[in-house]
Amino acid sequence: MVAGALAIVAATVPIYERLGSEFMPPLDEGTLLFMPSTLPGISIGEAERLLQVQDRIIKGFPEVALVLGKAGRAETSTDPAPLSMAETIVTLKPRDQWPDPRLTTDQLVDRMNAALKLPGVSNAWTMPIKSRIDMLTTGVRTPVGIKIYGADIREIERIGTAIESVLPVVHGTRSVFAERTSGGYFVDFTWNRDELARYGLSMDDAQQVVMSAVGGENVTTTVEGRERYPVNVRYYQDYRSDVGRLRRVLVPAMGGRMQVPVGQLADVRLVSGPAMIREENGLLTGYVYVDVAGRDIGGYVAEAKQVVAARVSLPAGYSLAWSGQYESMERVRERLKIVLPLTLFLIVLLLYANTRSMAKTAIVIMAVPFSAVGAIWLLYALGYNMSIGVWVGLIALVGVDAETGVFMLLYMDLSYEEARREGRLRSARDLRDAILHGAVKRIRPKFMTVATMFLGLVPIMWSAGAGADVMKRIAAPMVGGIFTSFLLELVVYPAIYEIWKWHFELKPELAS
């Protein structure tokens, strides 16, 4: 019996190795956040047109209730989104109103993503609350992100585009987009100080004209009830639409007695440069956003690291850091290396304080691998990955196993001591009968404990709605683990107890 139990535990190890890993289980918020990215330098008009096209396609799906898109950013440093990155909130209808109730959210996202394959646009899908948490903690809005650290922006962009070209071969890559750190377009005014001095102009005078005529200046605010609107004055677009017209912008000189074109005072050119400069840990940084679908994050990153290491060369002084949910998952994994041993140590300490015997404590702790058998097989059958929710359920399962194991040991101890007092322990057969007598008494309370657990946990496995996916990951290992621990404790504990009592107590006494 013991050998069979150990064989079952050994057969479960390969199944555990096949389980994926992720930071948190998917949380269905009932709302999607579509975040497409395109190349820098897109105009406001083109960004508006692109946003309208995408929103029209999304609204065509019968599962969608509302669509609200946003391009550009507010005048605040807390919203650094450029025009090249749009955000569209997709509010879904209740699931009972979907034409196909069996359709999952992931399958709906795949259909939308296929319909939104537009030239020059890289799609990324997430959920509003989840994306804000990810961006606050890691700065990356997609499940996986790669941060490129270095000293030169153009070299960072080269490495990012190289990674962008090789990652699509990795299974599970829905989209990948590398930031173009040097893809912005600017108008440079290089002032000729000799010419400014000739007309009696200061640098501030010249800059003020360009700022007011081209950039615009708020001159007043209109008040319309509770609404406030700033009034901005600048040249009409026809007078500032290209470099030639900018050179003809007039600068008042000599106290306003003459007008000097900007072209005589400065060299006006269109140049390209960094649209946005990121800096982390004292180094310039570029991001590569990777959207993953149909695969666990841990397994994807492990394969992607091998592909990038084999196909992308990094110059000296440049490095990569894998971020997003993977960064959070690694941080929690390091924390679990402390929490799990500490939890087991506390359980062993409490068991020893109760039994005053390391042998009895070891027997009770043996319930842990037996219960893990059911937990891991059920996780594998349901297609769940190892996550924070699953580990919470496993830790709770260890506590429940210790409790039921103590009761099992208590009944066998009582039966053993009773038979010993009555003088019925004269052979191995007598020992086995005493142990079986105690184990049979344990069936009813053990069954009641397991039934109570099942009545409380099994309904969670059929729950639906926001938060249900997380609760299922917590309940699944407990449901599967309690079931196998119920069976294995009833048949394995008596065998282990008999081996211990016969070889270390009763047999030496009978021999003497």
Between CA 293 and CA 172 the distance in angstroms is 5
The residue-averaged pLDDT of 309-322 equals 88
Under 8 Å CB-to-CB from 470, ≥6 apart: which residues? 24, 25, 27, 389
- Of 285, 349, 244, 36, nearest to 151 (Cα)? 285
Amino acid, res. 435: I
Question: Does residue 486 or residue 244 have the better pLDDT?
Answer: 244
pLDDT for 221: 92
Between CA 55 and CA 60 the distance in angstroms is 9
Residue 388 · residue 336 · CB < 8 Å: no
Between CA 484 and CA 316 the distance in angstroms is 54
Tell me: pLDDT of 461 over 90.
no
In the chain, what are the domain boundaries? 2-22+357-511, 30-126, 186-272
pLDDT digits (tens, 9 = 90+) for 23-63: 777 777 778 888 888 877 778 888 888 889 999 999 999 98
Percentage above 90 pLDDT, the chain: 4
Which ranges in 383-427 belong to alpha helices (H)?
A: 388-421
**CATH tag, 2-22+357-511:** 1.20.1640.10
pLDDT for 122: 83
How far is residue 117 from each of residues 108, 120, 294, 354, measured CA to CA in Å? 15, 9, 18, 64
Between CA 253 and CA 247 the distance in angstroms is 16
Burial of 245 (0-12, 13-18, 19+ CB in 10 A): middle
The answer, as to whether pTM is greater than 0.85, is no
Please identify which residue in the block is written with the tokens 């009944």. Answer: 411
- Of 320, 444, 434, nearest to 311 (Cα)? 320
Query: How many Cα atoms occupy the beta-carbon half-sphere of 147 within 13 Å?
Result: 18
Q: How confident is the model at residue 222 (pLDDT cuts 50, 70, 90)?
A: very high
Which range, 220-224, 360-364, 507-511, is most confident? 220-224
Between CA 318 and CA 325 the distance in angstroms is 23
Tell me: pLDDT of 238 over 70.
yes
- For 186-272, the fitting CATH number among 2.60.120.460, 3.40.1160.10, 3.20.20.80, 3.30.2090.10 is 3.30.2090.10
Question: Does residue 459 or residue 311 have the better pLDDT?
Answer: 311
Residue 375 · residue 396 · CB < 8 Å: no
Q: How confident is the model at residue 466 (pLDDT cuts 50, 70, 90)?
A: low
pLDDT digits (tens, 9 = 90+) for 18-30: 888 777 777 777 7
Architecture in CATH of 30-126: 2-Layer Sandwich (3.30)
Between CA 383 and CA 20 the distance in angstroms is 9
Between CA 132 and CA 66 the distance in angstroms is 20
The residue-averaged pLDDT of 247-262 equals 84
Tell me: pLDDT of 223 over 90.
yes
pLDDT digits (tens, 9 = 90+) for 136-182: 777 787 888 899 998 888 888 889 889 988 998 888 888 888 887 66
Tell me: pLDDT of 507 over 80.
no
Under 8 Å CB-to-CB from 251, ≥6 apart: which residues? 199, 201, 205, 206, 209, 259, 260, 261, 262, 265
Q: Is the dihedral of CA 169, 174, 180, 185 positive or negative?
A: positive
* Neighbour-count burial for 315-340, b at 16+ CB within 10 Å, e otherwise: eeebebebbbbbbbbeebeeeeeeee
Under 8 Å CB-to-CB from 324, ≥6 apart: which residues? 134, 138, 140, 142, 143, 144, 145, 290, 297
Question: Does residue 482 or residue 229 have the better pLDDT?
Answer: 229
pLDDT for 253: 85
Please report the beta strands in 108-233, taking only residues with DSSP state E, as ranges in sequence order.
Answer: 125-126, 144-150, 173-178, 184-191, 217-224, 227-233
Tell me: pLDDT of 120 over 90.
no
Under 8 Å CB-to-CB from 139, ≥6 apart: which residues? 145, 280, 287, 323
Q: Which helix (H) or strand (E) holds 434?
A: helix 428-461
pLDDT digits (tens, 9 = 90+) for 425-452: 777 787 788 878 777 776 777 778 778 8
Amino acid, res. 245: R
Tell me: pLDDT of 307 over 80.
yes
Tell me: pLDDT of 398 over 90.
no
